[in-house]
Structure 1
Amino acid sequence: MRDDIVVNVDEVAEILDESGPWRSTYKPLTPALAPRMGRLGVNLCRVGPGQSACPFHTHQLEDEVFYVLSGHGVLRYGETLREIGPGDCISCPASSGIGHQLANPFDDDLVYLAIGLNEPNEVCTYPDSGKLMIRGLGQVGRLQAADYYDGESAPLKIFAMLEAAGVKR
């Protein structure tokens, strides 16, 4: 049996993820799935007072579930706020267009399991900032509206390539 099929949470190193008010630690509990982009992943997350693990966002392809183990926090789901605590299980379905975010405005750490898919073609939107993330392209940025044919060459490049290859039309 592979050593990474069963892990003990006490033996997994915490990974710090921080940038400004987004600061948390997590322990990846499903390392056997990571190298092959397994379809499911579980992280043990810890968010300190006055922090959030990530910006308000939506998922196009990945359902996400959070199970609160200890501490208290606030769930922002769309324009609704709700206090969360131990035993609460939060379901955030993909493709709903409704953003979600967990934050900790309290004095003790918020500790929860984050369970979700690892979809290589995921697209996330960030409604507060107008960004989007396209995982398959490895890019986070903003789209600028354009006409479908905007920027396309005329004459068509395909015909120039055919001519260069000696193909007669």
Structure 2
Amino acid sequence: MAVFRKDSVPVTVAHASYPAPYTLPAGRLHYRHITEAGGLTQFGAALETLLPGGQSSQMHWEEHEDEFMFMLSGTLTVVEDGVETIVGPGDSCCWRAGTPVGHMLKNHSDAPATYLIVGSRRPENICHYPGLDLIATPDGPTHLDGTPYPKKGDTQ
């Protein structure tokens, strides 16, 4: 058993991990990856804080990974296939694997919003980004036609 006291898991500042032209600004969100600290491998859980004006990710849905979000403080706008819903403390969201509902979180408020995010860790997962020429595969991001995006540091 591992006990982690509040603030004992280090904060990581999110960086832009999407290939150009879909990158998001660094610093929009920070997280404490609780399950990484505990060495768990079958699911991932993180305490995330989305800063004012921030967007959690590009609109996406997962083929093989369930996702769960539980709001702890602040308010967020959940965007699902273009429909916006405001959520606050005590509210939760579930996105079932294989259900093509594109989703993302936005912070339109003037205060940080903190939530617990949990997902399966399926190495075969494929993530779809509706409206973008982007698919995340186990081998890295590709265009819709399967052509890989250049890896960081590669020259074109």
Percent of paired sites with the same residue: 27
Q: Corresponding residue for 1:27?
A: 32
Alignment partner, residue 83 of structure 1? 86
Question: Is the Cα–Cα contact under 8 Å of residues 49 and 107 in structure 1 kept in the other structure?
Answer: yes
Instruction: Give me the whole-angstrom Cα distance separating, in 2, the residues matched to 1:25 and 1:57.
Output: 19
**Cα distance in 2 for residues equivalent to 1:99 and 1:89:** 16
> 2:56 is matched with which residue?
53
Please tell me the root mean square deviation across aligned C-alpha atoms, in Å: 1.6
| 1:21 Cα deviation after fit | 4.2
User: Does 103-112 or 24-33 show the bigger shift?
Assistant: 24-33
Question: What runs of 5+ residues in structure 2 fail to find an aligned partner?
Answer: 17-23, 147-156
Alignment of 1:148-159 (within 5 A): none
TM-score by length of 2: 0.81
Give distance in 1, aligned partners of 2:39 and 2:67: 17
Paired with 1:48 and 1:90, the residues of 2 have a C-alpha distance of 19
Q: 1:49-101: per-residue Cα shift (whole Å, max 9, x none)? A: 00012111010000000000000010011221100111101111110111110
Spell out the pairing of 1:111-122 with structure 2 (5 A cutoff). 111-122=114-125
Distance 1:89 1:53 in 2: 16
What is the distance in 1 between the residues matched to 2:65 and 2:95? Answer: 9
> Partners of 2:39 and 2:9 in 1: how far apart?
15
Matched, 1:10 2:7: yes
Counterpart-to-counterpart distance in 2, 1:122 and 1:100:
16
Query: What residue identity is the alignment partner of 1:16?
Result: V
Which structure 1 residue ranges, 5 or more long, are not aligned? 146-169
TM-score, scaled to structure 1 = 0.76
Q: Could you tell me how far 1:18 is from its partner in structure 2? A: 3.0
Residue equivalent to 1:165: none
Q: Contact between 1:75 and 1:102, CA under 8 Å: does it hold in 2?
A: yes
Residue 65 in structure 1 maps to residue 68 in structure 2: yes
The structure 1 segments of at least 4 consecutive aligned residues displaced by more than 4 Å after TM superposition are none
In structure 2, what is the Cα distance between the partners aligned to 1:12 and 1:72? 24
